[in-house]
Amino acid sequence: MNSKYTLLVCDGASCKTTHKANLAAGFKKVIAEKKLGEFVSVVKTGCFGICGQGPIVKVLPDDLLYVSVKQTDIEEIVEEHIKNGNVVKRLLYTDPFTQEPVEKQKGKKIYQKQFRIALRNCGLINPEDITEYIAVRGYEALASVLADKTPIEVVELMKKSKLRGRGGGGFPTGLKWEFTAKQPGNEKYVICNADEGDPGAFMDRSVLEGDPHSVLEAMAIAGYAIGASQGYIYVRAEYPLAIHRLNIAMEQAREYGFLGKNIFSSGFDFDIDIRLGAGAFVCGEETALIHSMEGQRGEPTKKPPFPSVSGFRKKPTSVNNVETFANIPAIVLNGADWFASIGTENSKGTKVFALAGKINNIGLVEVPMGTTLREIIYDIGGGMVNNKEFKAVQSGGPSGGVIPKEHLDTPIDYESLKQIGSMMGSGGLIVLDEDDDIVQLAKFYLDFTQDESCGKCTPCRIGTKRMYEILDRLTKLEGSPDDLDILEDLAVNIKNSALCGLGQSAPNPVLSTMEYFKDEYEAYAYRKVKHTYSIITDKCIGCTKCARVCPVECISGSVKVPHVIDESLCIACGACYTACPVNAIEKP
Amino acid sequence: MKINSRSELVELRKSLSNKITLRESGATTDDTIEILIGMATCGIASGAKDTYNELITVIEDLNLTNVKVISVGCLGYCYMEPTVQVCIPGEEPLLYGKITKDKAFELIEKVIVERVYLSDNLLIRSFDKAGASNE
Ligand SMILES: Cc1cc2nc3c(=O)[nH]c(=O)nc-3n(C[C@H](O)[C@H](O)[C@H](O)COP(=O)(O)O)c2cc1C
Ligand code: FES
């Protein structure tokens, strides 16, 4: 670099807004005053992922980190560190394990809340070039398994790692492989579930697009463990790029002999094919998925028999999720103990989440099990947009529920989420703030499930429809307090009587929101809610922003003239409220 | 090119190790500079393809023969797409966000030619990961 010192000053949304700091400008000013401009440059950076300790300043080339830096600390840092070369000890980053201030960051990375196993190669390698995957030890897990381990030993390894399925249910992968391996017969199948039907989830797509070979390698390992020589990837046709990259990857893997006959001269044969799904949510359920693959209607059947006993073509089949597979080569290479050392008592390893909603750092994150929601939202996620009040986070999509403020510090794992009425699901996390309407949210999910219900069983087909109608009535202020009891009754009954996981979990969004936000349901039932948004004429500057974002075009007005909302058409989506630059919109 | 044994595979991997150490820590024995660009659905939707093409054009125009552009998967920073990682031999790899087509020239001029940071676009790698690249 040109100058002696470089100060990397965090300019992430959290450091900028939560702490109301404009440190970069502050540093520049002090440096100019002290005429040190030629010795130090100030560079703004994105979030460090430890916003709870923000604002952050990193000093190069010394490579150390100052945390919780205030405007009033600038003078001292510049004078002491830059001018005199003395470290300002009281502001140093403290290692969370040793509790020691870290003077030399070199080699010692700051402790990051994110740890990537399933996503380890995403963004690092070219997914369309097999040599890049080989460069990160690709296919060595398969090679070592074929050379050193019997199938039973592979199953034991998976059991010992305590890996659980990432497709939602959390069933132990090793056990599933064991059941499948123990079935008689030599025609068995491995299926990779890449249906990913949760609205808002895109973890599996990212793995397939960024690191397809790790899934292929893991499927071959599964094939060896359970005694299958054919695998299928069931992926929705809406994922064209993932399909394209999978096809390239399979072709290259065959060319190198990692798929096909006599892999690594071991006598083991394994190949993989793709089956395209039409994008129905229910086809992510494993029995429906198998029927769809067989060319039948994508409808679930009662379990047992489980697919591990009677699956594809009535043969023993192990269905595993994309993310589950992506973990497996890393487990084989690093050992079961390594994997089991990460996470909580009963949930090992990491989980990938798709962070969305009213949060600053929207994106894909992977954290060890046991990380709290607070850490995910306020450290990794950079906090709430515009510093709004956190209301809840929706997890588990249409099968899950909301997690309110009081549970922000719950360590996330399969059990803890179930206990508080939500579920891990596949990993979508939608963050809601004070402006979001909980009943509308529940209605959105019920609209989704009643639409996606395959219709085979009555509770799900008719029950979810009725639930949706009640919610619709309530939100239109046409309901009554009795509706709340009916809604709850219906929800419990559907949960207990539906045929498959879709119906059994469809009431969850309603039950969990009713538990934590009953008052909002009551407000609708007793019609105490003003149903629509309105514009405060005195405040409106006629900028037209609201009219442009309104999805139902119910806002009218000319430029620089106060606008009006046609309340008979307003759907209370809140888009105008968010868009208005002068707070001229009144909430319902 | 069929690989018949584990040892053959390990040999091949060792011959490729420069590629990954450059991207993970900057360590390498040759002088190739790499620009990795996130080209998953999310990146492409925010214009990564245009950025990719523009980067190649700029590199050709400036005749930077040792700079390669490589398309990779999603880095996870959806709020800063398109994202790139600049890997310069001997230096810590740097991430940059919101590198749209119109930023491509500036990125190459500042970060690769002049070797200064691009303020406002610099991202910090905010995760650790399982190292699969070492034995
Ligand atoms: C309605 C419904 C939808 C599902 N969708 C998916 C899905 O999109 N992807 C997935 O991997 N599992 C999905 N599952 C779970 C699968 O039935 C199955 O448990 C899973 O693929 C097993 O893989 P795992 O053990 O690796 O998690 C769904 C289940 C239900 C009931
Ligand atoms: S650490 Fe500064 S915004 Fe996250």
The C-alpha atoms of residue A547 and residue A117 are separated, in whole angstroms, by: 45
pLDDT tier at A20, thresholds 50, 70, 90: low
In this structure, are residues A51 and B126 in contact, taking their beta carbons and an 8 Å threshold?
no
Q: 3-class secondary structure for A490-535?
A: HHHHHHHHCCCHHHHHCCHHHHHHHHHCHHHHHHHHCCCCCCCCEE
- A239 min Cα distance to partner chain B (Å): 9
pLDDT tier at A108, thresholds 50, 70, 90: low
Which atom of ligand 1 is nearest the CA belonging to A201?
8
pLDDT of residue B119: 85
Element (H, E) at B56: helix B48-61
> Helix (H) and strand (E) counts for chain B?
5, 6
A41-50, A322-331, A352-361: least confident range: A41-50
- A312 min Cα distance to partner chain B (Å): 31
> Who's near B105: CB < 8 A, 6+ residues apart?
B54, B58
Would you state the structure tokens that stand for residue B127, as one six-digit string?
């995760």
pLDDT of residue A532: 79
A54 Cα to the center of ligand 2, angstroms: 6
Q: Are strands B128-129 and A115-116 parallel, antiparallel or unpaired?
A: parallel
**pLDDT tops 80 at residue A329:** yes
A40-54, A150-164, A186-200: least confident range: A40-54
pLDDT tier at A218, thresholds 50, 70, 90: very high
Ligand nearest to the CA of A306: 1
User: How big, in percent rounded to 5, are the helix, strand and coil portions of chain B?
Assistant: 40, 15, 45
pLDDT of residue A64: 86
Would you state the structure tokens that stand for residue A218, as one six-digit string?
């893991």
Average pLDDT over residues A242-266: 97
A382 lines ligand 2 (CB under 6 A): yes
pLDDT tier at A60, thresholds 50, 70, 90: confident
The C-alpha atoms of residue A541 and residue A302 are separated, in whole angstroms, by: 60
A306-310, A488-492, A553-557: least confident range: A553-557
Q: Which fold has domain A130-340?
A: Rossmann fold (3.40.50)
Average pLDDT over residues A298-320: 95
How does pLDDT run across A532-583, given as a tens digit for each residue?
A: 788 999 999 999 999 999 988 999 999 999 999 988 888 878 889 989 999 9
pLDDT of residue A530: 65
A68-72, A316-320, B7-11: least confident range: A68-72
**pLDDT tops 60 at residue A137:** yes
Which of A115, A206, A251 should be substituted to probe chain B, the one whose Cβ sees the most B Cβ atoms within 10 Å? A206
A47 lines ligand 2 (CB under 6 A): yes
CATH (residue range A530-588) = 3.30.70.20
Q: Which of the pair, A418 or B49, is modelled with greater confidence?
A: B49
Average pLDDT over residues A395-399: 90
The C-alpha atoms of residue A83 and residue A34 are separated, in whole angstroms, by: 9
Which of A41, A134, A385 should be substituted to probe chain B, the one whose Cβ sees the most B Cβ atoms within 10 Å? A134
B116 chain-A contacts, CB cut-off 8 A:
1-2, 41
pLDDT of residue B134: 45
B3 chain-A contacts, CB cut-off 8 A:
139, 256-258, 264
Interface predicted TM-score (ipTM)? 0.94
Domain segments of chain B: what residues? Answer: 19-123
- A427 min Cα distance to partner chain B (Å): 14
A77 Cα to the center of ligand 2, angstroms: 19
Element (H, E) at A211: none
Q: Which CATH class is domain A438-525?
A: mainly alpha
Q: Given an 8 Å threshold on Cβ–Cβ distance, is B124 in contact with A45?
A: yes
CATH superfamily of the A5-112 domain: Glutaredoxin (3.40.30.10)
- Token pair 């005195």 is found at A538
**pLDDT tops 80 at residue A18:** no
How does pLDDT run across A504-522, given as a tens digit for each residue?
A: 999 999 999 999 999 999 9
Number of Cβ within 10 Å of residue A56's Cβ equals 27
**pLDDT tops 90 at residue A588:** no
Beta-carbon pairs below 8 A across chains A and B? 191
B86 chain-A contacts, CB cut-off 8 A:
none
CATH 3.40.50.11540 residue window(s) in chain A: 130-340
A427 Cα to the center of ligand 1, angstroms: 12
Alpha helices (H) in A121-211, listed in sequence order? 130-135, 140-148, 151-161, 173-182, 203-210
pLDDT tier at A106, thresholds 50, 70, 90: low
The residue of chain B with its CA nearest to that of A135 is B13
pLDDT of residue A105: 58
Which residue among A115, A127, A143 places its CB closest to the CB of B129?
A115
pTM of the model: 0.90
Q: Which CATH class is domain B19-123?
A: alpha beta
The residue of chain B with its CA nearest to that of A380 is B126
A53 lines ligand 2 (CB under 6 A): no
Q: Given an 8 Å threshold on Cβ–Cβ distance, is A131 in contact with B24?
A: no
Half-sphere exposure of A25 (CA within 13 A, CB side): 4
pLDDT tier at A301, thresholds 50, 70, 90: very high
User: By three-state DSSP, how is residue A285 classified?
Assistant: coil
User: By three-state DSSP, how is residue A384 classified?
Assistant: strand
Percent of chain A with pLDDT over 70: 97
Who lines ligand 1 at CB under 6 A?
A 165-169, 171, 193, 195-197, 281-282, 284-286, 319-321, 324, 426, 500-502
pLDDT of residue B132: 53
Average pLDDT over residues A30-48: 90
pLDDT of residue A1: 37
A245 Cα to the center of ligand 2, angstroms: 34
A380 Cα to the center of ligand 2, angstroms: 8
The residue of chain B with its CA nearest to that of A354 is B76
Half-sphere exposure of B68 (CA within 13 A, CB side): 14
Ligand nearest to the CA of A279: 1
Q: Are strands B67-72 and B33-38 parallel, antiparallel or unpaired?
A: parallel
pLDDT of residue A308: 97
Which positions of chain B have pLDDT values less than 50?
133-135
A218 chain-B contacts, CB cut-off 8 A:
none
pLDDT of residue B135: 44
